[in-house]
Structure formats: structure tokens, C-alpha cells
Structure 1
Amino acid sequence: MMFLLPVHLLFVAVFPSLTATLAPKPSFVLVRGHLDHAPAGDTVWLEYRPHLSRQAPHVRLDPAGNFEFVARDIAAPTHASVYYAGKRASLYLTPGDQLMFTTDYSRFREAARYDGQGANPNNYLAQAYAKFEYVAPGTSREDINSFDFVCESPAQERQKANALRQERQAFLAAYHRQHPLSNDFRAIAAAHIDLMWTRRILTFASDHPRLARTPQQAAVLGHSDTSIQLPTTYFNFLRDLPLGTLAVPSETVNRGYDDSNLVLECLGLYADNLLPGSARSPEQATLENMYAQASKDLGLTPARDYAVATMLFDKQVRIDPAWVVAAYPVFRAHNRDSVASRYMRQLVRKQVLP
């Protein structure tokens, strides 16, 4: 039988120089910056994949408050962060960008301004954050970061959440009309808006002090009054969102610092509602029931495994550790997360063999 080379390998073998020409080549990115009123003598860090944490490029801030980075290994649009003396701002870098970043140290992220090639998406990030997410110290502005549960019913909360999401979507559309954004960036910005909306809805379901709870769970979570009931349709929105398709952040996911944390926070809030006696699980629910419910809401995804594991580790262990030990065989049958498996083995060993 004749062995046939796959077409894509044959193409590379016959036309090596052409494929080399067509392959994307990294293009350098220039990021210059100026910080007003910054404390002297610290280091500026530019973090982007794969250069994370202490492996990120870094330079000293000069006496005039200026810095400069040249990144030569950015071959595709990527999220990044710039850090200085405990402050952080989000960036979106594209090959060929020549970006000038200016801000006041005391209002590092919300006052950021960008000029030059690549300014449009970065100014959107700064302006959207300042308008919708930043809460100045000492103020009581109601938004997702200072959730104060002024809503007295699930319907009222959903109405407020929907109105805020529509306002953010309108801001994105208006900004794009004046300062054109790429399709890829607009998709990223739209997903962030949906994640913020999801977080608000799940926060109400998880943390409202008057939601119905079992007495044992209410005591552990610090809740007493249980006069609010969630409708059975409250969580239907999850099936129309990409939350279930979002894996836990890894080296292969270019989601950025903010949205990576948002995904984890949303899954943690969802996990609250898998607890026995919560909105997604009857008081006598088994772990098998919980996996079935999470599979409906999030699909057979890493997000499902992360949410169930979070429920077990962070919540149910404090409430009923014996329940967790008894449910361990079900966890082993369904879980596909190796890190969660190792942690669960250690936890069960401690419970069984104190």
C-alpha cells in the first residue's frame, strides 16, 4: 500500500519557502510611559504571556517618571498588564503597536491615557473601567464592585443588571463609531460585559442576606433572615452564555488578567448555589445530582469540574465534611481535573485518618 503524506505536510515539504513567507512573524511592540507623582526608585513590569510574574520584562522608572519597553516576541494580539509600586493597568497589545501610556500614579488605571499606534483599544479599556467599574475611596456609588443589595426581589435585580449591561453595550458601540476597534477586540469587550453581568446576577443569588437557606448553611455563611425565594428559572441565563466553555485560565487561553479572574469568580459564585439547600440543589441533593445540574448549566467542561470542586473544597467541607468523604467515589467518577483530584485525595485522607 502506498503511504500518502497528509496534504498539509505535503504542502510544507514541497513549498517550504512559501510557508515560511506566509507564517506570521513576531513584530516588535513599543510601550513607552510617563507616570506623574510616582514614588521614585521602583521597577515597572510589563507582563504578558508567556512572560508572567517575576519572568516579566522590567525596567527602572527614571527620575523624570519615564519608562520604555520593546517586546519582540508578540506575534498576535495579546492581553498585558503594566505594574508599578502596587498599581496595575490593563493593556491590549498588537504586533506593530507603538504606544504611549500616561497616567497619574494615584489614579493609575482609571486616569490612564494612551496615544500612538494601538491607542484605541487601550483607551476603551481605561474609559470603560473608569465609567463602570471604578469606585473612588469614600464614595457609595452602586455598581458591581460595591454591591449593597438595594434590590428587594430577583426580578428587580435582573432589571437593574440588564439595564447596566445595555448601558455598557451602548458605550462600546458609541466608542467604536468614534474610535474604530477590531472585530476581535470588540468580541473580547462584549464578553467582558457579559461576564460582569453574570457576576452581578450570581452575586445576588449567592450573597443576598435574605435568601432562603437551610439553617445549618445559613449559620456557616452568616445569613439569618431567609424571606427571599429565587424563581426556578433564575439560572436559565447560564445556558445562553459562554461561561461553560471557558476553561480555567491556562497558558493556552489568552483571556487576560481581569477576565481570567472574572471567570473564576463567576464559577465560585455558581458553586455557592450548588450547595445542598441552595437554589440549584435541594437539601437532600447528592453529588450525583449536583454534577447533573452543573452539566446542564455549564456543559461537560473544565468550568463544570472547577465549579463542583470549588463547592466541595471551599464550602461543603466547612458545612458537612462527612458528606464530602461519603461523596468521594462520585467525585472520582466525574472529575477530570488532575489538580482537584490531588487536593481531594489529601482532604479525604485527613478526614478519614485524622
Structure 2
Amino acid sequence: MTKPLSLAVLALAWAAAPLGAQSLLYRGPNMGGTWVPDGGVVQFNFLHRFYVTPGPSHTVINYPSFTLAAGVGHRIGFGGRFATKSLVGTGAGAQSSNETEVFVRWRAIGMEGKEGFSVAVTPAYNLLAKSVDGEVGVDWNRGRVTLEAAGRAVSRELGAPGARQVALAGGFVARLTRYIAVSGDLGSFVAPVDGRAAWSVALDLLIPGSPHTFSLQASNASSATMQGASRGLTTFGTGSNFILYGFEFTIPLHLKRFSPWFHGSPKPAVTGNAAPSATGPVAAEVRVGAYHFTTDSIVVSAGQAVRWVNGDPVEHTVTFDSGEPGSPLISPNGTWAHRFDRPGRYAYHCTPHPFMTGAVIVR
């Protein structure tokens, strides 16, 4: 890599927005993780892997997979995965190569990206295998490292009708910066009828100024379902190594951003200077620009107020993680002020753009 290109990559990494939830920087490519969408959030992930046949033709064969999930609150989400050309489904007894898995996930403990343990339970049904499947996933976060483990069970393995199976998987993520990571994982059925252990490695990136993440991957698994991530594949049954290359792109959609389509534009927040009599003396100001809060944290005294000024051409919010009353949508060039009466640390984020975060420390 040339020196100018190296400097450009580093600049891109450190200029990126703060890391948000449902991020590829917190799970391996073949791991489900413990993430659950927040209520009112729809998550779409596009996973595209491909295989290049040996020469002289070097034909590219594509294996796309799609994940769509939605949060309903109470740490519960539901969704489905669809693989249009799942090689897992091409074994004996398979009726199609289109693999569909529907699932529900409940995060019992923790939160993605937070220090400590997170545990999630995911029951599922694989339509191609006609199999009731399930997974218990555990993540452990400490600093820039995430360790993952999963136990899976299926009532009918694809390609081996009637065969019950148990699978174990583990993975890791090492965040080189807050915005670039490397990851890998390994998973396998305990008593595989066909195939070998599934593995994957990836370079994961957060796209600057957005909630989207992107990864470049290599793997020997063709789909992201529980069964697909538990079974490595050989090259069309020859026994030689089967390596797929590709990428994954994550797209969270916050439904509140589309409410004006159905209910008209919401009432904007205060657009002039907030009255000190209504909010208390304004002791500090946080400007919003380029999709981030320009001050990561500020310190004020109890009884004082903070004013947020939106300099972006889109609407933002100040939503407190602790349940403290937050702002409505703050229109472009609008302001909003809030008085803090009790000492403590008040972390906040923007609801339409959850990668935007900040904190107010009240003494």
C-alpha cells in the first residue's frame, strides 16, 4: 500500500462517526450475535458471497443472502433470512436451493457494544429443511475485543432429512480502531453427516457519517442461517477447499424518519433562543454538524441548562438513554434547551441517527 493511500485510510477511520448498534464491528461474519433491533427499527443486511471456478473459464457464481428484522420493544425482535442459492440445500433430499429461515430473538442480558456479557435466545424455523431450529448466543465485550459463543440445535439437518443435530460455534472481533476491525469464527455440527466445519474471516468497517457498516469476507459457508453457518462446504463434492469471497452491508431504518409521509411534518423544536425563565440559565451549548455532536461531553452544575443547535440540513433529536425527557425533532437551524436538576451523567443519542452520541455531566 502506498504512503498516500495509507494516510487516506487512516484519515477515513479517525474521521468516522461514533460507533452505533447492530454493527459488524461486534460480531463475526457467520455469527448471529446477540443484537436485537430497538422498537421502531427495521434492519436490512445484504450478504453477497461468490465463488470463482478454476481456470480456464474462471466463472463467477453468486450466492446472495438477505436478512430483514424488526424490533418490537422489550428486547424482542423478529425477522427472516433468505438465501437465493444456498449450497446447504443441494444435498440428498433437498427440494430447492432457496433457503428461508424465520426467527424471533430475545436478548435476556446485556446490550451490544456494552462492556460485559450479553445473552440472546433465538428460536427459528427453516422452511427448506422443515426444521425447528434454535440458538443460544453469548457475547463478551472488553475494550476493543469481543468474544462470541453459540450453541445451536436443529430438528432436521438440510440434506439429511430426519437427522437431529447440535452445533457449536465461536468467534472473535478485534477492533483496531473504533472504526476498523478484524473478525473470524468457526462453527460445526457435532456429528456432521456431510461437509466440514464452517469458518469465516473479515475486515470490518464503519462508513463515516452514517449508521452503516461494511465488511469484506472470506468463508466456506454460503448462507447465514443457523444451519448454513454450521456446515462448511467442499467444492461441488470433490473434497477440495471451497472458498467464497464477498461482502456484507448493514442498513438500519428508523421508522420515525418516515412519519411525515403519513402524519405530516412534526412540530419543530424551538427555533430561537430558549427563554432562561423556562429552562434555567443556559450554561453550555452543543452544536450539531456533519452528523455528530461537536462536543462529546460537557459539564454543568445542577439547575443549569444546555442548548443544542442543529446546523445540519436534516432533523435530529436529543434522546437520553436514561429515560430523561428528550427533545422532539429539532429542525435545521433550530435549537432546543434542557435544564438538569439532579447530579449525574446523562448519555444521549440522536434517534434517527443512533451513531450520534454525547453526554452531559451534572455536578
Higher strand share: 2
| Structure-1-length-normalised TM-score | 0.23
Higher helix share: 1
| Structure-2-length-normalised TM-score | 0.22
